[in-house]
Chain A
Amino acid sequence: MRFNTVFPVLLIFLGLLHPFHPVYPQNKSEDNSKELQEALRYLQDKALEVQIHARLIGKDDENIWNTQSRKITVSGKSVSITLEGEDLTVKAHLIPFLNEGGSIFLVAKGEVWVQQSASQEKKYYSTVKSLPIKPGESVIFFPTGVLMDTEENNIYTIELEIQVEPLE
């Protein structure tokens, strides 16, 4: 079993079990632990680890800025990344689906709210893309499109490098 940090995951499991699991008399403790193990195994089978590396890329593929994050989710549950800029908000929703054979189908939805100038209204764009991927394979999501050639120097594009793996 591999975790990003131990304590929060223990809390999650504790929180999951606490309100549902009744207090049994002493002689049912063996059944309890058996069920708990099965529950853990079941959750473990469905759980996915999503690693996100967010970057700002400039001209000549220059890496201007980057940050990374790891989240644990379950098959079909979205991990949403919100990137807030001065005149721009970008939301990238990543929904991984774990298939029977162990392969993963990744759906990525990009939402952009952008205000080109103070006098203009805020514009909204939204697209959904999907791709079958292997566990651990790197995919790159460009929520604002790929950087086009430009004469200006301080123009950047957002790049999200994503890897999805079953939580072993």
Chain B
Amino acid sequence: MCYDEQIISAYVDGELEGPLSTEVKKHIESCRRCRSLAAEFSAISEVFTAVRSADSIDSDQRKARVWQGIRRQTNRETVQNFWHRRVQIPLPLAAGVVIAVAALVFTLIVNPFSSNHRGTPTALEQDKAMDTTIPAVPSDFTSPGNTIPELEQLVRFLSDQGAAIEVKIELPSSSKIQVSGEPQLLRAADLRRDEIE
């Protein structure tokens, strides 16, 4: 009895397990039909082998050139990321720098909400003091000797105040995005993209 054509095809590709491969080989030697089929499949494969061996696409020079291209591109991205690199600063130093800068600014600019400011601010100083991107706050934040509970109020106020932190991204032009139903939120570990052996 002849084997299925798919088996003959797999045999030609060397994809059969040992015992089955031996059996198919024995059968082909004695069966004209299956021998002819195997020869036909082999011939098609040999055409591709001839084409493959005639090309010189897989050369060391090409491999090195592509490698250089990858390095150039990834190095360029590393330079662009330079200004967005992570910086590690000890907390006391960070606090010290903030204090020093704040102290310098406070000596130059008079706070219009404070009742302890030195003398009457000039028009220029007042303009500078008002020129802030932080929105105006209720007056109970400005009394001296603020305690932690009032700072909690401040943080809550800042949390609620104004628009969310925004990121705007332009998608590549002529991208066809599939809108396929409900959005999903999944843990990356649960999302099995590639089959694991």
Contact = CB atoms under 8 A, between A and B. Distances in A.
Interface residues of A, number: 94
Contacts of A85: 171, 175, 177
Interface in A1-46: 1-6, 10, 13-25, 28-29, 31-33, 35-40, 42-44, 46
A151 B153 CA distance: 56
B172 A114 contact: no
B183 A81 contact: no
Contacts of B181: 145
B138 to A, nearest CB: 10
Given A22-B116, A37-B95, A42-B151, A146 B159 contact: no
Given A1-B88, A38-B151, A31 B185 contact: no
Contacts of B129: 19
Contacts of B57: none
A130 B95 contact: no
The 10 A-B pairs of least Cβ separation, nearest first, read A22-B114, A78-B164, A138-B188, A110-B183, A129-B185, A145-B180, A85-B171, A145-B181, A142-B184, A80-B164
A67 interface: yes
Contacts, number: 245
Contacts of B109: 18
A141 B142 CA distance: 42
Interface residues of B, number: 77
A46 B109 CA distance: 29
B170 interface: yes
8 contacts: A21-B102, A23-B114, A40-B94, A40-B95, A108-B183, A131-B187, A144-B178, A144-B179
B67 interface: no
Contacts of B97: 10
A39 B151 contact: yes
Contact of B191 (A88, A114, A140): A140
B106 to A, nearest CB: 5
A29 B99 CA distance: 10
B91 interface: yes
Interface in B113-150: 113-118, 129, 132-134, 136-137, 141-142, 144-146, 148
A73 B87 contact: no
Given A2-B88, A84-B169, A137-B187, A76 B159 contact: yes
B29 interface: no
Interface string B85-99: 111111100110111
B187 A139 contact: yes
Interface string A36-78: 1111101110100000101010000100110101111111111
A139 B98 contact: no
A61 B142 contact: no
